């Protein structure tokens, strides 16, 4: 159930600025994320959330305080914090005998829970255990989804969309090859296992124009197991993916492109009399005196014939 907020009217200029910043915009920035500690979090879940937080920085907040709640039973705390922190994404870590090393990732829409997916961290190797150079914080990673299960399973399809929201950052129109420094790999299997790997992209000399690409694992390395899910209905999910009217492309009528990319247009004009069209005058097409004389005689005979027919009719 979404948190019901009262209608607030700003009394100061600063308050008006804050309320305007919370209003929906046609082009949103990177989605903010909050990471919470649930009921009895284990050391593995704490480190795992901290590593995902490091990958998400600076668009994230890590809350170290423990909270005695279960998101699948009561999500009011998440909705309250998401409104307070202006966060659309969240991650919760917990641990129990029934569900050890439990990680819950989800997102909100209109400050209400949209999707929640529960994952179990079967194997985990922290980022600090990889003794090599890391990437800078805030870099836009290259997301790689391996395996056909991402498109066949409905739960994995939503999880793919959730991972994309987590690490998408800002939208770019073009990519520079030297700007690709970080890659995140997600491999899904048929038994519900998801292998999360993080790599640093190295561009080596190849003797050609295109460099040789090598991947160096920098962590974290996580083997997830898919557990419970709480997915939004199709209508709510469709509403959350709605594109604003300002961003919809305006289609221009009667303009098309062929296979080679040439722009072609269709012009509609009124009906024309071809016999009255003024063409280019050329000396070679001028009539001779004989032709002019014959033309005048034909017109004269036509007029006389018209007069005779009128006289007979009268």
> Could you please report the per-residue DSSP string of the chain?
-PPP-------SHHHHHHHHHHS--SS--SPPEEEEE-SS--HHHHHHHHHHHHHHTTSEEEEEEE----TTT--HHHHHHHHHHT-SEEEEEE--SSS-SEEEEEEEETTEEEEEEEEEEEEEE-GGGS-S--PPTT--PEEEEESTHHHH-HHHHHHHHHHHHHH--S--S---GGG--EEEEEEE-TTSEEEEEEEEEEEE--SSSSPEEEEEE-S-EEEEEEEEEEPPPHHHHHHHTPPPGGGSPPPPTTEEE-TT--EEE--------GGG------GGGPPPHHHHHHHHHHHHHHHHHHHHHHHHH-
Does the pLDDT of residue 231 top 80, yes or no? yes
Structurally, the chain folds into a number of domains equal to 1
Does the pLDDT of residue 225 top 90, yes or no? yes
In a domain, 10, yes or no: no
Q: Confidence band (pLDDT; 50, 70, 90) for 312?
A: confident
Q: What is the pLDDT of residue 218?
A: 94
Q: What is the pLDDT of residue 5?
A: 56
By percentage, how much of the chain surpasses pLDDT 90?
Answer: 49
Please give the residue range of the domain that contains residue 111. 29-230
In a domain, 45, yes or no: yes
In a domain, 248, yes or no: no
User: Which pTM does this prediction carry?
Assistant: 0.74
CATH number for 64: 3.40.50.10480
In a domain, 53, yes or no: yes
Q: Confidence band (pLDDT; 50, 70, 90) for 6?
A: low
In a domain, 289, yes or no: no
Q: What is the pLDDT of residue 311?
A: 85
Q: Confidence band (pLDDT; 50, 70, 90) for 7?
A: low
Mind listing the pLDDT tens digit for each residue in 48-65? 999 999 999 899 999 988
Mind listing the pLDDT tens digit for each residue in 116-144? 999 999 999 999 999 999 998 888 899 99
In a domain, 312, yes or no: no
């Amino acid at each position: 159930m979404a948190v019901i907020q009262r209608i607030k009217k700003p009394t100061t200029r600063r308050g008006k600025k804050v309320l305007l910043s919370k209003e929906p915009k046609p082009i949103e920035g990177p989605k903010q994320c909050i990471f919470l500690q649930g009921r009895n979090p284990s050391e593995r879940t704490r480190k795992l959330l901290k590593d995902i937080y490091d990958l998400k920085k600076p668009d994230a907040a890590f809350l170290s305080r423990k909270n005695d709640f279960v998101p699948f039973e009561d999500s009011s705390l998440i909705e309250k914090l998401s409104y307070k922190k202006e966060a659309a994404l969240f991650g919760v870590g917990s641990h129990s005998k029934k569900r050890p090393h439990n990680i819950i990732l989800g997102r909100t829409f209109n400050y209400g829970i949209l999707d929640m997916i529960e994952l179990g961290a079967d194997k985990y190797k922290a980022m600090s255990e990889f003794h090599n150079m890391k990437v800078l914080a805030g870099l836009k990673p290259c997301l790689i989804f391996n395996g056909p299960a991402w498109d066949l399973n409905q739960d994995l399809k939503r999880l793919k969309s959730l991972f994309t929201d987590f690490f998408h950052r800002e939208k770019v129109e073009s990519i520079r090859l030297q700007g690709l420094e970080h890659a995140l790999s997600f491999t899904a299997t048929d038994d519900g296992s998801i292998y999360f790997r993080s790599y640093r992209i190295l561009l080596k000399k190849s003797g050609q124009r295109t460099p040789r690409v090598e991947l160096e694992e920098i962590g974290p390395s996580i083997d997830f197991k898919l557990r419970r899910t709480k997915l939004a209905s199709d209508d709510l999910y469709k509403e959350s993916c709605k594109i604003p009217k300002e961003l919809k492309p305006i289609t221009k009528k009667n303009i098309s492109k062929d296979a080679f990319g040439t722009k072609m247009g269709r012009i509609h004009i009124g009906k024309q009399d071809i016999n009255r069209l003024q063409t280019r005058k050329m000396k070679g097409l001028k009539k001779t005196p004989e032709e002019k004389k014959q033309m005048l005689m034909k017109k004269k005979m036509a007029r006389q014939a018209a007069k005779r027919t009128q006289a007979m009719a009268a």
